[in-house]
Structure 1
Amino acid sequence: MEPDASWLPWDSQLAANWSMEQALVWTHGLPVEYQYPATEISSCCLQTFVPASSTGGHLVDHTAAAADTQLNDPDPIEKEAAAQDQLEVDLQNMVLKIHVDPIHAFEKAASDYKAGVDLMRLKIHRYPATIRALGERYTVPTTVAIGPYHHGRAHLTPAEKVKHVAAYHCIRESGRPVQEMYDAVAHAACGTRGLYDADAVAGVGDGDLLPMMFYDACFLVQYMLTCTRAGPAQMDPALRSFFDANDNDVFRDITQLENQLPWRVVEAVMMFRPVPVAEFVASLRGCLQDRKVDDSGEEPFVLDEGGYGEPPHLLGLLRFYIVGRSHAKLPALPEIEAISFSVSTIELAEIGVALAPSRTTQLIHMGVREKGSLFAELSLAPLSLDDTRASLLVNMAALELRTTPSFHDADDEDSAVCSYLLLLGMIVDREEDVHELRRRRILQGGGGLTNREALEFLASLQGLRLGSRYVRTMEEIESYKSERRTRTKVHAFVYRNLKTIVAAISAIAAVVGIAGTLKSLKVVH
């Protein structure tokens, strides 16, 4: 077999002098879930509905005989019976079983739909209209394309050479043959075409898709190594220089929803060039904050391999740990006749609910908690808001919108980012409200987005679907008001008239002081 070196970088194909077996091929025309290794494609079994009469159908078996074989029965009655029950046709030794019972058609339709739902979490989704309307700032990579959606854009071409360098170092550091690594990636990529939007990959042949995945996976592996303790010191200086110089841009690009690679493909490279994934995730799960927060409430980090299952891609992996899990069972709330789904900072202050940063960095920990009999806190994870973190939040929210059709029926964690962004947006109506978030240490740091930019960013996301934790928080606020109606009214009166009350108290104190002075003078005389 002639060496197939078409996937090698640049002109090195011309120098290839080693045998390459094509490990896997696509069976065009079959759905992706029915792809097989090329050596195994020798027969198939199809099912379809063929009505034998207007009232029902029968099983008709097409068994290998001869391509032009026909039933030859002189008895018309027996011929009709045979036609109803069995028809033997040789189609190049392929056995076709055609079931004509109508229920099979419905069962297959239901099964196909369920399979599509099960794959929803693993797919590489396109942006929903709500997110796409935000523009290219959060939806188009600026430095590197991962996967086929943005591959070939002119401004991303320089990074393609860096991918070849990353692949070279993955191969060299693995100590394994090039072909062995490439075959492993090709095997892992088998079936992943169906995870992408069909229209987007319709014009991308397998000769382009598989090499693309190989180089992209090597690039991601080398980037992940830069986020570990030992990785940078072991890395080639030129490659490390690229990652250091473009760190924010690369991180923003590889965490965009449409710029993803199936995680199983990345894992195929990591079998040869291992990455301490737990250390990588631990280094990034607090990436929404600049400052070290009080993490006394957080347990030591352990990679939750059993609870999460197979990650869909890098964005999905990071979102899972940035959101976190809420293991505490939330108490049931009393029934409320009416609920408002919006409340301002001023309204919260009037009823004695102060804003406070949560003790952990995980986004799932949000809500109202009582602080004594007169006050409560609305706590949210702290955030250092800049362009890179804003992009990450947008793309994590987009992932939630695409993978969770109904937030109402899903776990709170499945809509936590949308809930978090909606709560922040609910609180801020003016630049002064953003300043209040900074004063309360929910927004950290002086750099990043200005108050005006933060306000515009959060306002642009108010069209997100209501997450379950957002709804729960609004119910908690309403319940707090309802159960402490008298106290909240008194607190609101005091809050609104605080200056007048303080002035009156000062005046009374002054009068009392003057009266006391006069009395003392009178006693002296």
Structure 2
Amino acid sequence: MEPAAWVPSNFQPVNWGMEPAAWSPGFPAESETESIEMYGSWIQSCIPNYSCGGQPLVEYYDPAAAAAAAAATQHYPLEKEAQDQSVEVVLYNMEMHCPNVSELQKVMNEFETDIDMIKEKMHRYPESIRDLGDQYTVPRTVAIGPYHHNRQQLKKAEQVKRVAAYHCIIESGRSELELYHEVASAANDVRRLYDKDVMQGIGYDDFQRMMFFDACFLVQYMIWLVDVSEEKADPWLRSFFYSNSDGIHHDVWLLENQLPWKVVKSVMKFSPVELDRFVDAWRDRLHDRKDLKGKPHFAWDDNYEPRHLLGLLRHYIVGRSRQNSRETDKDAADKLKSLSFSVGAIELAEMGITLRANETAELADMGLNNGIFFAELSLAPLSLNYARASRLVNMAALEMCYLTPTSVVTNIKDSAVCSYLVLLSMLVHREEDVHELRRKGILQGGSGLTNKQVIDLFPCFQSLPNGLCSTLTMQEIERYRMNRKSLIEGHAFWYRNKKSICTVFTTIVSVVSIVGTLIAILTKVKPLKAAP
């Protein structure tokens, strides 16, 4: 007989065609699967792995691999279906969220329209200006336009606006309906100039009423300011304007407190305002000296149409630049290796450049006048306090809203206020610089900011864009520095040591005088000794 196959004594063979064998001691299998796995592992360890040509002669049964293969075979169609569905979901989501070309075209058209209207719009403050604080950006007494209309502390002025409207109607000699229709028609045309997000919460009827009352208030205020000593306005209205003059003066200059000029003109057609006298009153308010003759001392520009009141006042305060009358020396500018945008008043004095307040008092009138040995930097004088600083800040904010890379290097007037403030901030590094500006008449008056307050305020202006006026002026200073190096070194030595030099010179003169006196005395004494 064939010898019986050897089987471990403690192993119970598995009958593949019958129910699984019961568990026996020595093989702690808890299930059929575990028994199969253990049996397969035992066979694999006991039978040699003969192979031919690198291929095993016996292919052992691996229960774990078989179970995994079976599971994969069983679930593959479901997984594939799920993957296909997830791909479809991703594609669907991509299709839903993919930008539509027509929508992008619409946004682009709106963006281009906003850029085209950049000088007409009623702007909001740039963030850099808003960071300066509420004292430069928030109205104190009256809201003009929609941006600050709902502030609780400004509600008192709403009643005054209705009084102003009553007087505009009476002065016009027309019916209230006719005047209101004139303003409402203009209001419909300018609604698009305000911020869209703000206008979404204001209905057309409410906006028309707002424009009507605000324009009447503004016109009555302008009439009062021109004839402040006369009694044309209602006494109660005049009393309100006078007692709240500081707050109203502050508010009408704010960038976010403006009315489109078209709306203001619709009221002025029935209640005329002497605009030249009104503007002249504001030009004087930047300085402590007043013109007692009462006649405007500037040329009125009939061709200029302002966007709003702030634009009107800025136009005549900026004035004309001396650099408008001469072409920019591009060849000379190209020769400059570098350009410093930091120079103090004392540093200019050491270079032989003195400061002078110009006679026009126009902000754009700045520049360097070269002499044979020295030069003179001319700037508009300024009586600086917080009220005037606020007006300058808001004019600069207006410029920042419509400056473009082209206008900032081609149009002098578009950035004149920024240029003026940037140049002043360059000149002020320390209290000695402020003292030098006061000594030369650039900063005037004793009732404004102290030297320390000026030092604290002016660094805020260094973030403003460098306008063409200040850039051209700094180019002139740099050319002066390059062309007169030897003269500047000699003058700097004199400026830094002039006190010591004067002391030495005075001492020498004194010694020479004393020696001369002694020589004269000795000269007179010798003949007396020689006499018998």
Are residues 1:303 and 2:303 paired? no
Once residues 173 and 348 of structure 1 are traced to their aligned partners in structure 2, the CA distance between those partners, rounded to angstroms, is: 57
Question: Alignment partner of 1:465: what SS?
Answer: coil
Contact 1:431-1:452 at 8 Å conserved across structures? yes
Deviation, 1:317, is 0.9
Question: Alignment partner of 1:184: what SS?
Answer: helix
Q: For residue 211 of structure 1, what is the amino acid of its counterpart?
A: R
Once residues 383 and 392 of structure 1 are traced to their aligned partners in structure 2, the CA distance between those partners, rounded to angstroms, is: 12
Contact 1:124-1:195 at 8 Å conserved across structures? yes
Deviations 1:37-59 (A, max 9, x none): xxxxxxxxxxxxxxxxxxxxxxx
Are residues 1:315 and 2:310 paired? yes
Once residues 410 and 230 of structure 2 are traced to their aligned partners in structure 1, the CA distance between those partners, rounded to angstroms, is: 40
Are residues 1:236 and 2:234 paired? yes
- In structure 2, the residue matched to 1:446 is 446
Cα distance, 1:120–1:241 mapped onto 2, change above 3 Å: same
- In structure 2, the residue matched to 1:35 is none
Once residues 330 and 419 of structure 1 are traced to their aligned partners in structure 2, the CA distance between those partners, rounded to angstroms, is: 18
Report the count of equivalent residues: 419
- In structure 2, the residue matched to 1:38 is none
Q: For residue 176 of structure 2, what is the amino acid of its counterpart?
A: V
Deviation, 1:488, is 1.1
1:185 pairs, out of 177, 183, 186, with 183
Once residues 392 and 125 of structure 1 are traced to their aligned partners in structure 2, the CA distance between those partners, rounded to angstroms, is: 16
Contact 1:293-1:361 at 8 Å conserved across structures? no
Once residues 293 and 509 of structure 1 are traced to their aligned partners in structure 2, the CA distance between those partners, rounded to angstroms, is: 48
Once residues 121 and 176 of structure 1 are traced to their aligned partners in structure 2, the CA distance between those partners, rounded to angstroms, is: 33
Write out aligned runs for 1:246-285 (5 A). Answer: 246-285=244-283
Cα distance, 1:294–1:183 mapped onto 2, change above 3 Å: closer
Question: Alignment partner of 1:137: what SS?
Answer: helix
2:117 pairs, out of 105, 116, 119, with 119
Q: For residue 435 of structure 2, what is the amino acid of its counterpart?
A: H
Once residues 150 and 462 of structure 2 are traced to their aligned partners in structure 1, the CA distance between those partners, rounded to angstroms, is: 34
Deviations 1:285-335 (A, max 9, x none): 33211214899xx995343131x3x31111011111110123422562722
Question: Alignment partner of 2:226: what SS?
Answer: coil
Question: Alignment partner of 2:307: what SS?
Answer: coil
- In structure 2, the residue matched to 1:488 is 488
Cα distance, 1:149–1:117 mapped onto 2, change above 3 Å: same
Deviation, 1:131, is 0.2
Question: Alignment partner of 1:471: what SS?
Answer: helix
Write out aligned runs for 1:156-175 (5 A). Answer: 156-175=154-173
Question: Alignment partner of 2:137: what SS?
Answer: coil
Cα distance, 1:280–1:294 mapped onto 2, change above 3 Å: closer
Cα distance, 1:315–1:434 mapped onto 2, change above 3 Å: same
- In structure 1, the residue matched to 2:429 is 429
Contact 1:232-1:240 at 8 Å conserved across structures? no
Once residues 445 and 113 of structure 2 are traced to their aligned partners in structure 1, the CA distance between those partners, rounded to angstroms, is: 46
**Stretch moving more, 436-445 or 130-139:** 436-445
Are residues 1:473 and 2:512 paired? no
Contact 2:430-2:455 at 8 Å conserved across structures? yes
Once residues 294 and 351 of structure 1 are traced to their aligned partners in structure 2, the CA distance between those partners, rounded to angstroms, is: 39
Deviation, 1:260, is 0.7
Deviations 1:361-395 (A, max 9, x none): 2111012112x312212111111112221110000
- In structure 2, the residue matched to 1:80 is none
Deviation, 1:409, is 3.4
- Tell which structure's C-alpha radius of gyration is larger: 2
- In structure 2, the residue matched to 1:379 is 378
TM-score, normalised relative to structure 2:
0.74
Question: Alignment partner of 1:207: what SS?
Answer: helix
Q: For residue 137 of structure 1, what is the amino acid of its counterpart?
A: Q
- In structure 1, the residue matched to 2:62 is none
- In structure 2, the residue matched to 1:343 is 343
Deviation, 1:113, is 4.9
1:143 pairs, out of 141, 144, 164, with 141
Once residues 521 and 502 of structure 2 are traced to their aligned partners in structure 1, the CA distance between those partners, rounded to angstroms, is: 28
Question: Alignment partner of 1:442: what SS?
Answer: coil
Unaligned 5+ segments in structure 1 are 1-102
TM-score, normalised relative to structure 1:
0.75
Question: Alignment partner of 1:379: what SS?
Answer: strand
Q: For residue 412 of structure 2, what is the amino acid of its counterpart?
A: D
Percent of aligned positions with the same letter in both sequences?
50
Contact 2:261-2:309 at 8 Å conserved across structures? yes
Q: For residue 454 of structure 1, what is the amino acid of its counterpart?
A: V
Deviation, 1:461, is 1.5
Contact 1:293-1:359 at 8 Å conserved across structures? no
Cα distance, 1:180–1:138 mapped onto 2, change above 3 Å: same
Once residues 170 and 401 of structure 2 are traced to their aligned partners in structure 1, the CA distance between those partners, rounded to angstroms, is: 39
Once residues 293 and 171 of structure 1 are traced to their aligned partners in structure 2, the CA distance between those partners, rounded to angstroms, is: 34
Contact 1:293-1:360 at 8 Å conserved across structures? no
Once residues 311 and 104 of structure 1 are traced to their aligned partners in structure 2, the CA distance between those partners, rounded to angstroms, is: 36
Write out aligned runs for 1:387-426 (5 A). Answer: 387-406=386-405, 407-426=407-426
- In structure 1, the residue matched to 2:218 is 220
Are residues 1:198 and 2:193 paired? no
Deviations 1:134-168 (A, max 9, x none): 01110000000000000010000000001000000
- In structure 1, the residue matched to 2:82 is none
Write out aligned runs for 1:67-82 (5 A). Answer: none
Contact 2:345-2:428 at 8 Å conserved across structures? yes
Question: Alignment partner of 1:191: what SS?
Answer: helix
**Greater share of helix:** 2
Once residues 467 and 286 of structure 1 are traced to their aligned partners in structure 2, the CA distance between those partners, rounded to angstroms, is: 24
Deviation, 1:104, is 11
- In structure 1, the residue matched to 2:358 is 358
Once residues 251 and 230 of structure 1 are traced to their aligned partners in structure 2, the CA distance between those partners, rounded to angstroms, is: 13
Once residues 330 and 397 of structure 1 are traced to their aligned partners in structure 2, the CA distance between those partners, rounded to angstroms, is: 25
Deviations 1:420-459 (A, max 9, x none): 1111111112233223222221112111222222221212
Once residues 216 and 130 of structure 1 are traced to their aligned partners in structure 2, the CA distance between those partners, rounded to angstroms, is: 28
Write out aligned runs for 1:45-60 (5 A). Answer: none
**Stretch moving more, 138-147 or 424-433:** 424-433
Deviations 1:146-193 (A, max 9, x none): 000000100000000010000000001111000000010011111312
CA RMSD across the alignment: 2.5
Cα distance, 1:464–1:252 mapped onto 2, change above 3 Å: same
